Structure 1
């Protein structure tokens, strides 16, 4: 049962990946909201939080998700910037986008570390590790699905110049 829920969520995320690149801010909010709800149900099925810890855990989880979604919006904004500048990407713009991406990755790591300590206090270290193992897995799968739909720098230009075969 747990595996089927995980697989369904992964398929949903993979199918939704192109939506992440849309420029409409309302669409971003909608995707973020839907992802949070689906993810919350997945966390609930996977962790099976004891009733005595449930209120504290879900309050902390909602706080964490709010901060994670803000980082997700920044990541989406970076993708939108990349898409908008792709055809005329200068060295300076590429450097700025790369540094912003590295910063965003660092912010995710800081968030994970900070909240791991908080979740450990509520769930214990093993369950907190279990939660973040799933969290990092879902984030990695989502990033992979997005990256598979984004051309590498210069890729479109080289395809346009390639002779028809």
Structure 2
């Protein structure tokens, strides 16, 4: 609760803007390439820290995690592609209503695919370990995804709607 209160004070009382004045899409390819290289390793390191299993349990967990990561990789790649597609269209001033609709549809399709895959592997973790471990894994995933989303939100400009 204290963190939420501090965040509220920083953002609203001190009037810190929610976005850069006009972020550019020029560096989005660099940002995405950096993310593709760094995020899987950092995600794994965070899970090692918060799950903290040893011996045979660790071996089983990481086999499940590796399968999860492998199955999710296509969705992750498509998500990066979606950001790249938007950035390119935005740079070229080509974002029209039709493209905006397509991008939104793709976005929700990818979110649904990720949720479906995550649920599948949560079930495996619940069965092999416990619902509490599965929940901890989900919490860790949500934290990581929130940090990633937060980083992208300020690197990708908002769409013009005029």
TM over 0.5: yes
1:54-93 correspondence to structure 2 within 5 Å:
54-86=58-90, 87-93=93-99
What residue in structure 2 maps to residue 116 of structure 1?
Answer: 122
Rounded to whole Å, the distance in 2 between the matches of 1:31 and 1:82 is 17
Cα distance in 2, alignment partners of residues 21 and 88 from structure 1: 17
**Which consecutive aligned stretches of 4+ in structure 1 deviate over 6 angstroms post-superposition?**
none
Root-mean-square deviation (Å): 2.3
- Cα deviation, 1:97-119, whole Å, max 9, x if unaligned, reads 11001111111111111111011
Instruction: Identify the match of residue 22 of structure 1 among 29, 33, 37.
Output: 29
**Unmatched runs of 5 consecutive residues or more in structure 1:** 1-17, 159-165
Gaps of 5+ in 2: 1-24
What is residue 105 of structure 1 aligned with on the other side? 111
Instruction: Tell me, yes or no, if the aligned pair for 1:21 and 1:76 is still in contact at 8 Å.
Output: no
**Structure in which a larger fraction of residues adopt helix:** 1
Which moved further from structure 2: 76-85 or 48-57?
48-57
Number of residue pairs matched by the alignment? 135
Provide TM-score, normalisation by structure 2. 0.74
Contact kept, 8 Å, 1:71 with 1:104, in 2: the verdict is: yes
Shift of 1:129: 0.5
Deviations 1:20-63 (A, max 9, x none): 93179xx74x7434322222122111111142311111111011
- Tell me, in whole angstroms, the C-alpha distance in 2 between the residues paired with 1:116 and 1:40: 16
* TM-score normalised by the chain length of structure 1: 0.73
